[in-house]
Amino acid sequence: MDPKECKQLAESLFPGTPEIDHEIEYPKRDLPPGAAVTRLGPSPTGFIHIGNLYTAFMNQKIANETGGVFILRIEDTDSKREVAGAAGALIRSLQWFGVNFDEGVCLEAGTDKLCESGKYGPYKQSDRKAIYHDYARRLVESGLAYPCFLTEDEIGEIRSRQEAQKLTPGIYGQWAKYRDCPADTYMELLRAGRPWALRFRAGQEDREIKVCDGIRGDLIMPGNKMDFILLKSDGMPTYHFAHVIDDHLMRTTHVIRGEEWISSLPVHVDIFQALGFDIPLYCHSTVLMKINNGKKRKLSKRSDPEISLDYYKEEGYHPKAILEYLLTVINSNFEEWRQAHPDASIDDFEMTTDKMSVSGILFDLDKLNDISKDILVRMPAGELADFLIDWAKLYDSDAYGLLSADRELLSRILDIGRDGDKPRKDLSHGLQMWDFIKYFYREHYERTGPWPENVPEADVPALIGGYLDTYDHDADREQWFDKIRELSEANGYAARPKDFKKNPEMYKGHVGDVSTVIRLAVVGRATSPDLYEIQQILGENEVRSRLNSALF
């Protein structure tokens, strides 16, 4: 078609679409040199996964480090997949993990109502339809796009024929039935009310494209030959079309997204070039994986509960631990940096795309727990208590009632063994912490596990009774343990484990066995932090009550 016919077709497809200079409407940002403008563009489908946080955190950190801007754009052009309230849930969930946006879709203070902040909106793609139509009109006018009237049945038939011939499926070449119709044919079909989708008129020549990837370096691949869809039959854009326009107008400099989008790069390059836009720096991160039956595989929504962000909230992982762990898998030099700066904030670490992995990252819950223990042991006991109370308020009402009733008591409990050169590192997340300390609360005290193997059951009353008779709550630690040694010797147990080891035939057991009997009576468990400190926190009356209960 000649330029005049292309313009007439564009006017018929997009009647009344205003011609706006979007470059003036969305001017270049006034930012420092090198400042990165990044964005997260989730679809509001209702499932919030660790990949959302992984990508969001990378985008936020790069923007913050460079004095740039981090945008939340909701890509809601597929109404069939949209879940009510999903966008708000995503925002709240990411905020809980310390991810906040400088611009874009947000929540009104104290409400679940969505609003927007920033000068480059709208930030919901469903509200930007007129912008997409304007650019679509321009592509039709320039002969780079055309209406396609293929039905779903026809497309299905084409796909079947292509598969039978072992050809690449898609609409291109001879399969692009409406690619080169005369102008009259297009107009006749439009007047007949035939539904249409707008397709890009791709080049048919063989060519290669080269795209610089911020993580992977230069990517060289075949150019696109498909007449892909720009606008669907409902008038809404595809991801390919919308994100190119939005990233250009919002002045995005870095597009950080999953490696599954690499294969779409030729399509995106076509659109950028057709519209005369500069291409941002694409950074394709690798996928999160796990070991299953000795082999790596992608995390699965169906098989792996840890893929959901709700899993970490319900289990009670501290946001600082999650972000610290993510940095260990995002940048290969983070752990070395952490060793050199053990007390520094992660904000001081410079994350760079060239240190990101290009192969599947193993998501390791054991490593997360180890990192979490390191994070929590450095946290003041009061702050840790507040975190545990907040977690219990959301996920365990019984625990919340007990923990919140006496915050100072909880702080003392959580602070046991945390001083000195080798503080204990056994607290990793809320659910485990509550299970670990619940014996302090009478409602949850119960004895579990058998008496020590070296202690005959007949000796238990004598040991507990003897301890109870001599118990002095005001004794210092050394005096307290001396009495346990005396109790041990009086009942035929070695006062020192090494004495029992040298001459096992002379003793029933050793002082450790006796201590375990007392621990089981007071704590209900064979292992616990320092028993002396536990008794000081429980108080004399509670200690005596538990000892008496163990006698009967």
pLDDT of residue 174: 92
Q: Please list, residue by residue across 332-358, b when 16 or more beta carbons sit within 10 angstroms of its beta carbon and e when fewer do.
A: eebeeebeeeeeeebeebebebeebee
Cis preceding linkage at 305, omega within 30? no
CA–CA separation, 121 and 428 (whole Å): 41
Average pLDDT on 93-97 reads 94
Q: What is the pLDDT of residue 209?
A: 95
Element (H, E) at 48: none
Q: Sorting pLDDT into bands at 50, 70 and 90, what band is 551?
A: confident
Q: Convert the pLDDT of each residue in 131-188 to its tens digit.
A: 999 999 999 999 999 999 999 999 999 999 999 999 999 999 999 999 999 999 999 9
Give the whole-angstrom CA distance, residue 231 versus residue 227: 12
Q: What is the pLDDT of residue 90?
A: 93
- CATH assignment of 445-552, among 1.10.357.10, 1.10.10.350, 3.40.47.10, 3.30.420.10: 1.10.10.350
Tens of pLDDT along 507-524?
999 999 999 999 999 999
Query: Torsion-angle region of residue 417: left (phi > 0), alpha (psi -120 to 50) or beta?
Result: left
Task: Give the pLDDT mean for 125-136.
Answer: 96
Q: How far is CA 436 from CA 96, 389, 430, 444, in A?
A: 24, 15, 10, 11
The tally of CA atoms less than 13 A away on the side-chain side of residue 252 is: 30
**Strand-by-strand arrangement of the 288-292 sheet:** 295-298, 288-292, 361-362
Rg (CA), the chain: 33
Q: What is the pLDDT of residue 328?
A: 94
Q: Please tell me the distance from the alpha carbon of residue 167 to that of residue 177, in angstroms, as a whole number.
A: 17
Q: Which band of pLDDT confidence, cut at 50, 70 and 90, is reported for residue 291?
A: confident
What proportion of the chain, given as a percentage, has pLDDT over 90? Answer: 86
DSSP H or E segment with residue 312: helix 309-315
Question: Taking the domains of the chain in order of start, what are their residue ranges?
Answer: 3-16+128-285, 31-127, 289-377, 445-552
In tens, the pLDDT along 476-501 reads 999 999 999 999 999 999 999 999 99
* Domain covering 289-377 assigned CATH 1.10.1160.10 in the classification: yes
pLDDT, average across residues 535-552: 94
pLDDT tens digits, 211-259: 999 999 999 999 999 999 999 999 999 999 999 999 999 999 999 999 9
pLDDT (0 to 100) of residue 67:
96
CA end-to-end distance (rounded Å), the chain: 98
- Structure tokens of 113? 């109502």
H/E run at residue 199: strand 197-200
Provide the pLDDT for residue 1: 86
Over residues 402-416, the pLDDT tens digits come to 999 999 999 999 999
Cβ partners under 8 Å of residue 167, min gap 6: none
Binned at pLDDT 50, 70 and 90, residue 193 comes out as very high
On the question of a common fold for 31-127 and 289-377, the answer reads no
Whether the predicted pLDDT of 78 surpasses 90: no
pLDDT for the residue numbered 80 = 83
Q: Check pLDDT > 80 for residue 84.
A: yes
Residue 368, token pair as written in the block: 């997360």
The whole-number pLDDT of residue 499 equals: 95
pLDDT at 208 over 80: yes
> Is pLDDT of 382 > 80?
yes
Q: How many CA atoms lie within 13 A of 8 on its CB side?
A: 13
- Which pTM does this prediction carry? 0.89
Backbone angles phi, psi at 192, to 5 degrees: -80, -5
Looking at residue 403, what is its pLDDT?
Answer: 97
CATH number of 3-16+128-285: 3.40.50.620
Average pLDDT in the 320-328 region?
A: 96
At 56-73, the pLDDT tens digits run: 999 999 999 999 999 999
**How much is the mean pLDDT over the chain?**
94
CB count, 10 Å around CB of 3?
A: 10
Question: 3-state class of 128 per DSSP?
Answer: coil
Say how far apart CA 121 and CA 110 lie, in whole Å. 22
Q: In the beta sheet, which residues pair with residue 14?
A: none
Confidence label for 202 from pLDDT (cuts 50, 70 and 90): very high
Q: With bands split at pLDDT 50, 70 and 90, how would you rate the model's confidence at 79?
A: confident
At residue 448, the pLDDT reads: 84
pLDDT beyond 80 at 420 = no
Under the banding of pLDDT at 50, 70 and 90, the label for residue 302 is: confident
The pLDDT, as a whole number, for residue 542 is: 96
Helix (H) or strand (E) holding 249: helix 239-249
Q: Please calculate the CA angle 196-198-203 and round it to the nearest 5 degrees.
A: 135
Query: What integer pLDDT is reported at residue 363 of this predicted model?
Result: 86
pLDDT value, residue 200: 98
Cβ 49 vs Cβ 308: under 8 Å = yes
Query: For the domain 31-127, what is the CATH code?
Result: 3.40.50.620
DSSP 311-373: HHHHHT--HHHHHHHHHHHH-TTHHHHHHH-TTS-GGGS---GGGS-SSPEEP-HHHHHHHHH
